[in-house]
Amino acid sequence: MFLFFLSSGLFLGWSLGANDAANVFGTAVGSRMITFKRAAVLCSVFVILGAVISGAGTSDTIGKLGTVNALAGAFIVALAAAISVYIMTVIGYPVSTSQGIIGAIIGWNLFTGTLIDYTSLTKIVSSWVACPILAAIFSIILYKLVVICIKTFNVRMFKLDTLTRYGLIIAGIFGAYSLGANNIANVMGVFVPVSPFRDISVMGIFSLTSAQQLFFIGGIAIAIGIITYSKRVMMTVGTGIMKISPVSAFVTVWAHSIVLFLFASQGLERFLISHGLPSIPLVPVSSSQAIVGAVIGIGLLKGGKGIRWKTVRGISVGWVTTPLLAALISFISLFFFQNVFQQQIYKPVEYIVSAEAIERIENKGIPANELKGMLGNKFPSAVQFNNALKECSFLRHDDTNFIMESTEHYKMKITDTGIRSLDAEWFTEEQIKVLEKLEGQVFIHKWMMEEALAGISPSWRIKKDDKLFNRRLKGKIAHIHDLFHASEFFMR
């Protein structure tokens, strides 16, 4: 069933490859500096590498906007995004899977009554505005630098042609890697919370997390889309907005790739934070917006006369239409999938104001006097609980998020049957022993189990400077949450 439901994500990956590969090699192919066949092969290889190696950064932001907690729901969300992107691809406009998946998740939130994290949404939408502007700025700066270098070193036409050709190949490789790193979360991000995969070790040389295995599958789907259907959109990007020279094509691909890399690089984020600098948010930005912004930057530098503004307006309308279309398709499809096909598209999440939750909230420094009046109250949905919290005058937005995390009702019982089912190659001996010490205990909040485990052994504690360990630990914790969640153990 998982493979069937994953098919919509694969369709979305194919749509991304068919549409967004144009943003990497479209200007190069359009200017006839690189053949489509070579561009397709290079783009396919490096988009997979980017997805697997560096794709984890932006998936967290997608998850914060809306955690799709049922496999059938993830199927519909990805399908709605894929259909909206496919429609735009058939028309010939380069749109973004980022816009498609965000619109589809919002449709899911609206249908299920799940709260929309407006902080994450604002961050994502702001990046959509900043992305083409940054690409245009980088494009202008890079073009001026290239022109200065050509004049300084007196590069002749034949040599310039050769250098530009190789430069486009290198830029395309970098762009394909950045595309995979930044946009794979759009393809597979909604499946990460419901993934059945476990971390694996490959011959003891390197390991692949559950998310990386999903990203690898998604990367292959993107590659198939690149090879089979990307040529038409490549020509729209390469020649539709304005006619550009090979040097301009080289500059626009580099500008586009730099912008995508900035919004996907965890290494850059760590560097900026370690030096006390503001970090760039890790969000899935639109590669389509980046390349269009870069091309327009070149056009503006040359006076703007060669820009086909009618085409730009059409592309801009596509950017606005795509998330709205995806949200509508998602909402309607979820209704039919739930009511006609009787599929569970959402697992209801309750909230309970317990004494333990109030104590945790107070330890965080949040006044909880008004919450004490709700002690023992249960709320069947996030929306209803959030409406109750709005009446508490002391709360800020960040306080509300922490309170909802602390009060989420998720009953778990650690059982011998569950412990014996754990994979000894995935969980360490120390981690399993800690669970054995807690056998028989019942927890009503996720954080209670996490704190109990961490209180016994460092093997269950987050490490400050080890993101790889932390990522693996979060995967294990998510697994035992599901494993020990109230089911048959509470029916006996």
DSSP character string of 365-380: T---HHHHTTTT-EES
Question: pLDDT per residue over 279-308, tens digit each?
Answer: 777 787 878 788 888 888 998 988 877 777
Residues 213 and 74 in one domain: yes
Same-domain pairing of 44 and 73: yes
Distance in angstroms (rounded) separating the CA atoms of residues 60 and 57? 6
> Is 9 in the same domain as 74?
yes
CA torsion sign, 140 to 291 to 52 to 226? Answer: negative
Annotate 193-226 with DSSP letters as a single string: GG-----EEETTTEEE-HHHHHHHHHHHHHHHHH
* Dist CA 110 CA 36 (whole Å): 41
Provide the number of structural domains found in the chain: 3
pTM of the model: 0.78
Q: Are 9 and 218 a contacting pair, CB within 8 Å?
A: yes
Same domain, 319 and 403: no
Residue 465: inside a domain: yes
Q: Does 390 share its domain with 474?
A: no
378 shares a domain with 230: no
pLDDT digits (tens, 9 = 90+) for 166-192: 888 898 899 899 889 888 888 888 888
Q: How far is 423 from 428, CA to CA, in rounded Å?
A: 9
Domain for residue 344, yes or no? no
Question: Which band of pLDDT confidence, cut at 50, 70 and 90, is reported for residue 358?
Answer: very high
CB 377 within 8 A of CB 405: no
User: Are residues 399 and 421 located together in one domain of the fold?
Assistant: no
Write down the pLDDT at residue 424. Answer: 81
316 and 218 share a domain?
Answer: yes
Task: Mark whether 88 and 18 lie in a shared domain.
Answer: yes
Close Cβ partners of 53 (under 8 Å, ≥ 6 residues apart): 181
Q: Quote the domain boundaries for residue 361.
A: 350-409
Same-domain status, 24 and 114 = yes
The answer to whether 449 touches 481, Cβ cutoff 8 Å, is yes
Residues 232 and 363 reside in one and the same domain: no
387 or 309: which leads in pLDDT = 387
Which residue, 409, 412, 406, 410, is CA-closest to 356? 406
Q: What is the DSSP string of 232-301?
A: HHHHIIIIIS----HHHHHHHHHHHHHHHHHTT-HHHHHHHHHTTPPPPP-----HHHHHHHHHHHHHHH
In the prediction, which pLDDT does 316 show? 77
